[in-house]
Amino acid sequence: MDDVWDDSIDDLECERAIAEKSFRKLEKAFTNSGYKYGVDASKTDNMQGGFDQGFDLSLHYGKAIGVVLGALLAQRSIRRKLNLPEENIDALVMKLRAIKHKSIFQSQYLTSPDPLPEFETPTDMYTSLLDEANETLKRLDAFLVE
């Protein structure tokens, strides 16, 4: 029904055609609005979940660095007061202070829209630096106990 002035069509059929076009227009508008609302709601829900997950992991890994860093700084202070060699404490402290979140997390974890649990493990660089610091602390503690 393209010609609304067509005399061969009665008024009821014309009104139905207009109502049908109006209905399709409204249906399309509501469908678009619903789609947009759904996308926005999904983004909000997923972003919050991703933030919460990343925050928890960052807190865990950051705390591990903080504990080791605090222990190294305490060792350095004790060793300076006792005039003992400090070994590589300053170098380790500098490395730990310089570590950034991008150095801790695997790149797949940072770029994936849905991070998988296997990407939550820290990078080898982070793990080896923490291992090095813990080994140094064990050595230093053992020396003080003797």
> Which pLDDT does position 114 carry in this prediction?
64
Mean pLDDT of 55-82: 88
Model pLDDT, residue 51: 76
On the 0-12 / 13-18 / 19+ scale of CB atoms within 10 A, 15 is exposed
Maximal C-alpha separation, the chain: 110
What confidence score (pLDDT) does residue 84 get?
83
What are the pLDDT digits (tens) for 92-129? 888 888 877 666 766 656 666 666 666 667 777 888 88
Q: How far apart are CA 75 and CA 65, in angstroms?
A: 15
Domain boundaries defined on the chain? 50-145
How long is the chain? Answer: 146
For the entire predicted model, the pTM comes to 0.60
The Cα 39–Cα 41 span in angstroms is: 6
Q: Which residues contact 93 (CB under 8 A, 6 or more apart)?
A: 69, 72, 73, 76
Contact assessment for residue 104 and residue 122, using Cβ atoms and an 8 Å cutoff: yes
> What whole-number distance in Å separates Cα of residue 130 and Cα of residue 104?
11
Helix axes 89-98, 124-145, angle to 10 degrees: 150
What span, in angstroms and rounded, lies between the C-alpha atoms of 96 and 106?
Answer: 18
Other residues' Cβ atoms within 10 Å of the Cβ of residue 79: 17
Q: Tell me what percent of the residues of the chain surpass a pLDDT of 70.
A: 79
Distance between CA atoms of 144 and 146, rounded to whole angstroms? 6
Q: What is the mean pLDDT of the chain?
A: 79
| CA distance between the termini of the chain | 99
| pLDDT surpassing 60 at residue 33 | yes
Average pLDDT (13-27) is 83
